[in-house]
Amino acid sequence: MSAPAKYQRIARFYDLLDWPFERYRYRALRPLLFCGLAGRLLEAGIGTGRNCPFYPPDAIVFGIDASPAMLARARRRCPSLAAAGRLYVMDVTRLEFPPGSFDAAVATFLFCVLPDPLQVPALRELARVVKPGGLIRLLEYVRPHGALRRLLSRLWQPWIAWAYGAGFDRRTEAYIPEAGLELVDSRYVVADLVKLLTARVC
């Protein structure tokens, strides 16, 4: 089953499934995505709209998601975006925006869902629609180095793959230069499990 199909299936339950992680982990991380960003922003993989309360007040945000069911929930959570017609069903590997449409782009746990063959195409599309010099910021799970966390991530992997189509082994950071982007920051924000990546469009 494709990732969009999985999210169509779990959209009704997504916020409930994610509630413990949202309360104890994600809510504190979301503001990091938008630090220093302004202007026209693209959120790729907006999901149910959990980032909406953290958008910079002076930003004009556009959101996309491949799942219509997830996007329907984002419309309710992000009424200003919905009213302005800035929410779209769209594939991140085939963005329907002209080159240089945005000052920056963000994605939260999107690339850990994309299989390896789609990583570079997705990064290149984000680079295409962001202006030269603009930033692309990604919040992503990675395979931890510590023995205990590594074991736990392997135990969790079958459930994560079944429910979300996600994996801990995506090589997003390594693909950033291949996509023609400059990696300007890479840092762990939750132990050795979650990374915040910032790339610049050359």
Residues 1-19, mean pLDDT to the nearest whole number: 86
Instruction: Report how far residue 163's alpha carbon sits from residue 54's, in angstroms, rounded to the nearest whole number.
Output: 26
Domains of the chain: which residue ranges?
Answer: 3-201
The Cα-based distances of 160 to 91, 120, 128, 200 in angstroms read 21, 22, 30, 30
Kindly report the CATH number that applies to the domain delimited by 3-201: 3.40.50.150
Q: pTM for the complete prediction?
A: 0.94
What tens digit of pLDDT does each residue of 152-183 get? Answer: 778 788 777 777 788 888 999 999 999 999 99
* Position 1 pLDDT exceeds 70: no
More confident residue, 58 or 5: 58
What tens digit of pLDDT does each residue of 93-102 get? Answer: 999 999 999 9
Q: Determine which of 55-64, 156-165, 179-188 has the lowest per-residue pLDDT on average.
A: 156-165
3-class DSSP state of 1: coil
